[in-house]
Amino acid sequence: MQFTINTIALDVLAVGNGVRIQTELENVLLENQTLATAGPIIQKNFDIVKRVLVPRVESKIKDDELDEVVLRIVLLHLALYNNWRNIYRQEQKRDLTFILDDLKNPVSFDAVIDYAKQKYRKRYREIASSILGTDIPQLMAYEKGREEFMARR
């Protein structure tokens, strides 16, 4: 089955006891979800995140590129929420609606930075900081902390 969010085509495939969501850039498995449940929650979460990010980016990136970033954030968090639902008993009834505070966590920061580096090599910090709602020094501090953390592993 295929559906679109704005200009992005998503393939939703039934696999085992779940669905696989694929785009040109993303590939996520959602266990214990169905073709009927996956599309609406992705669309709902996409709308929530995009509503927050549109004013941040103004006209710094194209609408279709913002859609790609939003979808990346949404799919990563949906996979996390859904996995917690399947792994932890206390999370079994977790609502899969996107939590806005999650835009401030490392999963979101890393997804946005990675995307900006791929699309805007020379000015990725400007673009990423706009999307994330930070300034460039804060973004650089995050990157430095992330590098130090990864070097200790």
In 3D, which of 40, 5, 46 has the Cα closest to residue 19?
A: 40
Q: How confident is the model at residue 68 (pLDDT cuts 50, 70, 90)?
A: very high
pLDDT tens digits for range 24-46: 889 999 999 988 999 999 999 99
Task: With a cut of 80, say whether residue 153 has pLDDT above it.
Answer: no
Look at residue 8 in the predicted model and tell me its pLDDT. 93
Question: Where do the H-state alpha helices sit in the chain?
Answer: 35-57, 63-87, 106-119, 124-132, 136-152
The three-state (H, E, C) secondary structure of 74-115, written as one string: HHHHHHHHHHHHHHCHHHCCCCCCCCHHHHHCHHHHHHHHHH
Average pLDDT over residues 12-18: 92
Q: Residue 81 in contact with residue 45, Cβ under 8 Å?
A: no
Task: With a cut of 90, say whether residue 14 has pLDDT above it.
Answer: yes
Q: How confident is the model at residue 78 (pLDDT cuts 50, 70, 90)?
A: very high
Residues 6+ apart with CB under 8 A from 21: 10, 11, 12, 27, 28, 29, 30, 38, 42, 75
By the 10 Å C-beta count (0-12 exposed, 13-18 middle, 19+ buried), 42 is classed as buried
Q: 59 or 40: whose pLDDT is higher?
A: 40
Q: What is the DSSP-derived secondary structure letter of residue 121?
A: G
pLDDT tens digits for range 89-146: 888 888 999 999 999 999 999 999 999 999 999 999 999 999 999 999 999 999 999 9
Look at residue 58 in the predicted model and tell me its pLDDT. 83
